């Protein structure tokens, strides 16, 4: 979600890529709530931080979004520029009914959007 918002809201200023420690499958609830915002991420792939490191990718900014429970496992990226941590609950860890998970994911989405907007504002 953070990658999609940064690419959409920071058009021309930022080009974001996203990766995780243990990439898995795209969460269909996340795809759904982003579609509600007019952002189609259905064709996105999940990437590995290790693959980006091995490819030698360099970044001006590194934004980590690990939740507090996983903070100790948040990736360390060698050579990254400015680092910023913005912790969010992981939508894949949500419990409850399908509707409850949908509502919780919308709240996380909205938090991420606000934080990305604030980041863009602070860096431009």
- Domain annotation for the chain: domains and CATH numbers: 2-123 (3.40.50.2300)
111, 87 in Cβ contact below 8 A?
no
Task: Write the pLDDT tens digit of every residue in 93-108.
Answer: 899 999 999 999 999 9
Q: Which two tokens stand for residue 120?
A: 């863009």
Task: Write the pLDDT tens digit of every residue in 31-54.
Answer: 999 999 999 999 998 999 889 999
Share of the chain above pLDDT 90, in %: 56
pTM of the model: 0.87
d(CA 28, CA 72): 26
Q: Give the residue, 41 or 87, on which the prediction is more confident.
A: 41
For 1, 6, 14, 93, 94, the CA distances from 82, given in Å and listed in that order, are 20, 16, 14, 28, 30
């Amino acid at each position: 979600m953070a990658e999609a918002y940064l690419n959409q809201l920071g058009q021309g200023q930022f080009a974001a890529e996203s990766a995780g420690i243990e990439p898995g499958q795209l969460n269909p609830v996340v795809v759904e709530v982003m579609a509600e915002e007019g952002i189609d991420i259905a064709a996105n792939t999940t990437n590995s931080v290790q693959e980006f490191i091995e490819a030698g990718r360099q970044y001006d900014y590194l934004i980590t979004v690990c939740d507090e429970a996983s903070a100790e496992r948040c990736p360390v990226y060698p050579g990254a520029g400015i680092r910023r941590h913005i912790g969010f609950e992981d939508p894949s860890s949500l419990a409850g009914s399908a509707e409850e998970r949908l509502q919780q994911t919308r709240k996380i989405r909205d938090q991420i959007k606000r934080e990305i907007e604030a980041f863009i504002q602070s860096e431009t």
